[in-house]
Amino acid sequence: MRQSTGPVSDIAYLPAQDVPLERRPAVGYAMVTAAALLFGVNGAVSKVVLASGLSSLRLTEVRSLGAFLGLAAILVASRPEALRASRRELVFLAFFGVAGVASVQLFYFLSIHRLQIGVSLLIQYTAPLLVALWVRLALREHVRRRVWAALALALAGLSLVVDLWGGVSLDGLGVTFGLLSAVTYAAYILLAEHAVGRRDTVSLLCFGFFFASVLLAVVQPWWSFPFGVPGRDVSLLGHLSHLHLPVWAMLLWIVVLGTIAPFLLIVAALQHIRATRVAIGAMLEPVAASIVAWGWLDERLGAQQLVGGAVVLAAIGLAQTAR
């Protein structure tokens, strides 16, 4: 394994990535769209699990450990050499796991526990604006005017989707958690973009979830976990309240299709499109989450929300034209 000679970091290259990957924007946007849809469904599943008595911190703990074990199993079976890392690289990976992977999950779950899913996601998806501001002010890279226009358009569309001006009741602590989730989500996207090309997607996330799991286990040790909760059968709430599933089945969904798959898709998309565009494309998640919440949890969805969704799609298209 050879080391990067770039000025930014000492992150190790894997042999499979010595040849630069051809950028294919259409593939990148398809990955982001699929991830947004999976995350959208995951919001409703998580809401049901949180209503079962499992705390936000415990759900984050299960999600992180489950994702780490799943990704580690893939690497052990296919490319065990990808689990090697230099000491200096481990410092970056630990920061990525704590500041990005663990924090964005925890603050999101804390937020949706106090706010409607759509409102929480609207706050979280101010993250693309933070990414663009960081790129412009800290990295001093040029950001096209169309990107700023796309950000403004997307935020306007999202405010229509969640009916922000329709008398939504906001919990102060929930809003604070939402803002923290926005900051940590922006950090996650920027840190992942920094690492893409120097370390493959699966091993990057595997290390990220490992360090997230270590932090969460220290904060709330596993021996105090409420092991009786996963075995309970709980109502799926809303329009599906007549159906019941064991909590462990929903936790399995959250780990595999609500975490491993979409996180891999988001990081892999960064190989094809820049962080600002990934963040804007991911704004589809609140639209998807609102539709799922309407169909499943009986949350409101009308003509205004549909118009807002169309505005978000237009914003994503506008961002794509900013070559």
Ordered DSSP codes for 228-264: TSTT-EEE--GGGTT-EEEHHHHHHHHHIIIIIHHHH
Q: What is the pLDDT of residue 19?
A: 39
Task: State how far the Cα of 287 lies from the Cα of 304, in Å rounded to an integer.
Answer: 12
Domain-located, residue 204: yes
Q: What is the pLDDT of residue 76?
A: 93
The structure's pTM equals 0.76
Q: What is the pLDDT of residue 51?
A: 87
Domain count, the chain: 1
**Residue for token digits 């120097």?**
198
Q: What is the pLDDT of residue 94?
A: 93
Q: What is the pLDDT of residue 62?
A: 93
With H, G, I as helix, E, B as strand and everything else as coil, classify residue 295.
helix
Those residues whose C-beta lies under 8 Å from the C-beta of residue 264, and which sit 6 or more positions away, are 201, 202, 205
Domain-located, residue 85: yes
Q: What is the pLDDT of residue 322?
A: 58
Domain-located, residue 7: no
Domain-located, residue 214: yes
Domain-located, residue 15: no
Backbone angle region of 10, left / alpha / beta, with phi > 0 → left and psi within -120 to 50 → alpha: alpha
For the stretch 134-151, pLDDT in tens is: 877 777 777 778 778 877
Q: What is the pLDDT of residue 300?
A: 67
Q: What is the pLDDT of residue 14?
A: 37
Domain-located, residue 265: yes
All residue ranges of the chain with pLDDT < 70 are 1-22, 118, 161-170, 197, 300-302, 305, 309, 316, 319-323
108: containing domain = 24-223+233-321
Domain-located, residue 285: yes
Domain-located, residue 175: yes
Q: What is the rounded end-to-end Cα distance, in angstroms, of the chain?
A: 35
Cβ count within 10 A of residue 54? 23
Q: What is the pLDDT of residue 121?
A: 76
